[in-house]
Structures are given as C-alpha cells and as structure tokens.
Structure 1
Amino acid sequence: MTEIDDVDHQLLRMLREDGRRTFSEMAPEVGLSVAAVKRRVDRLRQSGVITGFTVQVDHSKLGWSIEAFVELTYTGTTPVGEIVRTAYKTAEVQAVFTIAGAPDSLVHVRVRDIGHLQHVIDGLRRTGNVTGTKTLMILGSWTRN
C-alpha cells in the first residue's frame, strides 16, 4: 500500500476537481515547487493510486437522460465473470457491480427513453442465465469524486 500524506490528498482532490489542472497551478496551493508536484503525481500514477485521467460528460445533452439500476438474478451456477460479460456487451451499461446476496448484480444503465430502457432490459433477460430482474429508476444523483 502506498503511503499518502496530506499534500498527496490535496493534489488528488485538485485533480479530481479538474484533471487538466497544471502542476504550476497546483504547486502554490500545496507549497511545493512545480518539479516536486510533478514527482508526487508521477509517484501516485506509478503506484496505481491514480489510474487515469478522464473527461466528465453531460449525457443528457447527448439525449441519454434516463438512468436506472437493474438488479439481475442469475442461475446459481453462473460464474461471476459471465455476469460481467453479459452486461459488458450492452453499450448502454455504464457499470456492473457484482454483489453478495440477492440479487447477484446491480447494473447501471443510461438510455434515451423508456422504450430504449425496455429494449436494454429485454436484452439482458435474453442471456439465458438471468432468472429475474428489477429496475430502479434514478431520479437524481450525487457522486463523490
């Protein structure tokens, strides 16, 4: 496990807020030189604490404004890898969470409209090993970065 100090936590917070933030912008806020900030960020990347940089997209502006969680229950002998593969093949799936207990997985989907949602759920049900679904519509969300 990588040791993380308060300065590292500050750098991570700043990068979560804006992944395009420059080392020269961050340096004065943490009281280090630009080179020292670069070394710390490089160390956080090399140790796997920072796994990548990404862009955040407002999907509703692209017409994909409906989100839901779909609980999937599988036959008792279905391997976890197959659970993930089933949902991975579906472009509307944003994330798959395999969980302990019933259901077996929680699938986050994003779709254009209710008809599109029905199509996605029908597709997940046709995999053969799915024995049940339950859909939970997302009305709003907040995510800690």
Structure 2
Amino acid sequence: MDALDRRLLDLLRANSRAGWAELGDEIGLSASAVKRRVDRLVATGVIRSFTIRVDPAIDDRGTEAYVELFCRGTVAPVELRRMLSRVPEVVGAGTITGDADAIVHMRSRDVSSLEDALERVREAPNVEHTRSAIVLSRLVDREGD
C-alpha cells in the first residue's frame, strides 16, 4: 500500500461507481494503471467487496438502537456470536471493555419490533440484563458497509 493506493481507496469510498479514467485523472494515473491497482487491491484482500448501501428505512430497518449486553459469569465471544446471530435485527456486535460484556447494534421496523427483538436477546440463558439507547438521529455516518 502506497500513497496512491490510499488516495484511490478514499476516492472509491466517496464514489465506488467512478470510472477508471475519472479515478486516474484524480490521482495522476492512466485508466489501465488504476484498474491494475484496483485488481491488485481486490486480489490481496484490501478491498473485500463492492456493494451498495440502501436507506435502512426502505428495508423496514429505520429504527436503530445500541444495546449494552450484560452476561452472567464468563461467556465466550463465540457463544455470544452464536446467540446474537440468531436475531436478524442484530446488524453488528462486539465485545467491549467496561461493565458491559458486549455492545449490540440493532435495526428494526419500529420500536415495537425492536422491543420484540430485544426480548429474544434477553431470553438467552447467559444474558443477565441489557441497557438500550435508541438512536434519534445520525450525526456522522462513515460506516461504508
């Protein structure tokens, strides 16, 4: 990875539909050189996929929450992953430092369906309790997922 690769990645993040020539004009390379670089970035796993992002409200996932998960005793991350993977409203999760064992990102159609999904998470045998925060508005969104 050099400075041109990093600039190319920035440009692709901003507009993944840009053509090779347009990208090349921005970084000072020919269209074919840009294509070779992108092909290399894909082959080496730097670029993992090309995708689109759809407004979550269109997919009936306009209600969003972050949920702190508190477990009884010690629960292995693989067990948390298994349990959370069964709830389709869970769109992301990670183990964290601090009092909670994990943070869970959930999306659902509305507050009622979010509550139903949260109850399914709480029913897991190792879950002691949760603490939720519903997102009112997004201020910064650099996910790029």
Q: Could you tell me the TM-score, scaled by structure 1's length?
A: 0.90
Mapped partners of 2:96, 2:45: distance in 1: 24
Work out the CA distance in 2 between the residues paired with 1:122 and 1:62.
21
Q: Corresponding residue for 2:50?
A: 53
Structure 1 unmatched ranges of 5 or more: none
Instruction: Give the counterpart of 2:108 among 111, 114, 118.
Output: 111
Q: In structure 2, how many angstroms separate the alpha carbons of the residues matched to 1:143 and 1:89?
A: 26
1:143 aligns with 141
**1:83 maps to what in 2?**
80
Question: What is the identity, as a one-letter code, of the residue corresponding to 1:20?
Answer: R
Deviation at 1:101, TM superposition (A): 2.8
- Give the deviation of 1:91 after TM superposition: 0.9
- In structure 2, the partner of 1:29 is 26
Report the equivalent of 1:20.
17
1:40 to 17, 37, 46: 37
Which residue of the other structure, out of 65, 68, 78, is the alignment partner of 2:62?
A: 65
Distance 1:77 1:64 in 2: 32
Residue ranges of structure 2 left out of the alignment (5+ in a row) = none
2:9 partner letter: L
Question: Could you state the TM-score of these two structures normalised by the residue count of structure 2?
Answer: 0.90
Alpha-carbon separation, structure 1, partners of 2:23 and 2:14:
12
Instruction: Give 3-state SS (helix, strand or coil) of 2:52's partner.
Output: coil
Q: CA deviation at 1:18?
A: 2.1
1:86 maps to a residue whose letter is: M
What per-residue deviation string (whole Å, max 9, x for no partner) do you get for residues 8-47 of structure 1? 1221011111222221221111111112111211222222
Structure 1 counterpart of 2:141, which letter?
Answer: T
**Deviation, structure 1 residue 109:** 0.5
**Cα RMSD between the aligned structures?**
1.4
Count residues with an aligned counterpart.
142
What is the aligned-residue identity percentage? 39
